[in-house]
Amino acid sequence: MTHYLNDAVQGIAESIRFDSSFGKRSAKMPFGQGAYDCLQHFLSLAESLGFETHNYGGYAGEVIYGSGVEEFAVLCHLDVVPAGDGWTKPPFGGLVEDGKIWGRGAVDDKGPAVCVLYALKQLQDAGFMPSKRIKLIVGCNEESGWACIEHYREAASMPDTGFSPDAEFPVIYAEKGILHVRLHFPLPHAPFLFLEGGKSANMVCDYCSATTRSIGTARAREFGLEIAGNKLIARGKSAHGSTPEKGVNAMLPLLSYFARRNENIRFAVDCLFNDVYGLTKLSDETGRLTLSPNVIKYRKGELQVLCDIRYPATLSAENVYQKLVAMGVKYETVHHQPPLFHDKNSPLICTLLSVYEECTGQKAEPIAIGGGTYARALKNGVGFGPEMPGDEPVIHQADEYITIERVELLLKMYRMALERLTK
């Protein structure tokens, strides 16, 4: 391995060791200790490599290379979703084993952030002088609100053009709109005392439990539920909220168990999982709408369910709201990001596509995704890696990893892309 690859592997492993999921806030640490420490580590690493850096109040940071008047951005994030359950490797261990770097954030998005940093280092060492001022911007709140980007906009200048290595290859020309909505299902005569599940709006619920006065043991086992005293437990498999089909939602078996004798819960199951109002029938060239109920709790006579909705990029949020109104269920918008949609033949997309084809030897076309990246923060921004077609899905799942082989490829691709886009 080259020393750049060795250094990048070490940098990724070190970054993973910070639990940078959303934590206890303070004036100095707006997203908690772990996110703050991870940002400090990344900027210190960049400084040690000879780059100018800036820390914007613990919200976001940037690494500067070049001095051109025009600016070019690479936007990454250092925060992560909670580890969740089911790990066989330490989620924040940064273990390097079996040709892989293991841990939360390895792919999403600490690994790519470090790879871009060392791509810049390669260009610097080669004496490349970009005609544009390259800004490697790292945020600390991508997974839970984007306050980092909002703060950066106020404190610094956001370039118009760039890419985010927080998506997929070959290159992303469109991203679906993102809606996080909380639905309120009235439940005046709940068949349980307590019910709760899910960890994050954009993670498929992998654990859900309910406390009840009586349990039908045989029936509970038919639904695959565990019994612990007067508690029923359902376990699923986490996945990214934009791809719920890759996970197993733990809410469904638990709600289905209670829905047998409760029409209000049966209605909730019909809305959330059977899609009787046709939300997922909304579609266009960027794909169908996806609906993922990811966080649930029973409070004050109602089921409150936080759903992750990704709607087609050529539609508007109003198309979704019309379907929600038809349900007749109270709802509130918790978070909304409009879709991203670009011309597939733009110079930015064509350049990145040529880099992908040259480095992989594979002809490809731009694609659309349901995930949301920082590319939306730019007037002319797209997603570019790090996932390849056919990769095992590991984002937001247990035992997340990035292979050392992929790190080596990213170093090459990001160096080539930055050189061509800023020469």
Instruction: Say what the pLDDT of residue 144 is.
Output: 86
Handedness of CA 150, 26, 94, 15 (dihedral sign): positive
Between CA 17 and CA 293, with CA 246 as vertex, the angle to 5 degrees is 90
Q: Which fold has domain 3-175+341-422?
A: Aminopeptidase (3.40.630)
How confident is the model at residue 300, as a pLDDT? 87
Mean pLDDT of 64-90: 95
User: Peptide bond preceding 90: is omega within 30 degrees of 0, i.e. cis?
Assistant: no
Exposure on the CB side of residue 363, measured as CA atoms within 13 A: 0
Query: pLDDT, tens digit, for every residue of 181-235?
Result: 999 999 999 999 999 999 999 999 999 999 998 888 888 999 999 999 999 999 9
Q: Return all residues near 365 (Cβ < 8 A) that are at least 6 apart.
A: 170, 344, 353
- Spatial distance between the Cα atoms of 287 and 266, rounded to a whole number of angstroms: 28
CB 358 within 8 Å of CB 170? no
CA 227, 232, 235: angle at the middle one, nearest 5?
A: 95
Determine whether 168 is an active site residue: no
Nearest to 110 by CA among 399, 355, 380, 395: 395
**Structure confidence at residue 151 (pLDDT):** 97
- CA–CA dist 85, 340 (Å, integer): 32
Q: What mean pLDDT comes out for the span 157-168?
A: 97
Contact by Cβ (8 Å): 224, 211 = no
pLDDT in tens, 228-268: 999 999 999 999 999 999 999 999 999 999 999 999 999 99
**Position 109 pLDDT exceeds 90:** yes
Distance CA 229, CA 209 (A): 12
The structural domains of the chain, with segments of one domain joined by +, span 3-175+341-422, 177-337
For residue 1, pLDDT over 70 is answered with: no
Cα separation, 45 vs 21, whole angstroms: 20
Q: What are the structure tokens assigned to 374, written together?
A: 């920082």
**Mean predicted confidence (pLDDT) in 47-67:** 98
Q: How far is CA 110 from the centre of its chain?
A: 12
User: Residue 83's closest CA among 31, 41, 21, 141?
Assistant: 21
Which tokens go with 212?
Answer: 């009840």
270-317 per-position pLDDT tens digit: 999 999 999 999 999 999 999 999 999 999 899 999 999 999 999 999
Question: pLDDT confidence of 145, banded at 50, 70, 90?
Answer: confident
Average pLDDT of the residues in 383-405: 96
Q: What is the pLDDT of residue 244?
A: 95
pTM of the model: 0.83
- Under the banding of pLDDT at 50, 70 and 90, the label for residue 84 is confident
The string of pLDDT tens digits covering residues 58-67 is 999 999 999 9
| Average predicted confidence (pLDDT) for the chain | 96
| Domain boundaries 177-337, CATH class | alpha beta
Q: Which one of 142, 143, 168, 400 is the catalytic residue?
A: 142
User: Which is the catalytic residue, given 79, 168, 308, 400?
Assistant: 79
The closest alpha carbon to 134, from 78, 87, 58, 75, belongs to 75
Residue 88 has pLDDT above 80, yes or no: yes
Q: Which helix (H) or strand (E) holds 219?
A: helix 217-222
Q: Is 79 a catalytic residue?
A: yes
Residue 121 token pair: 């280092």
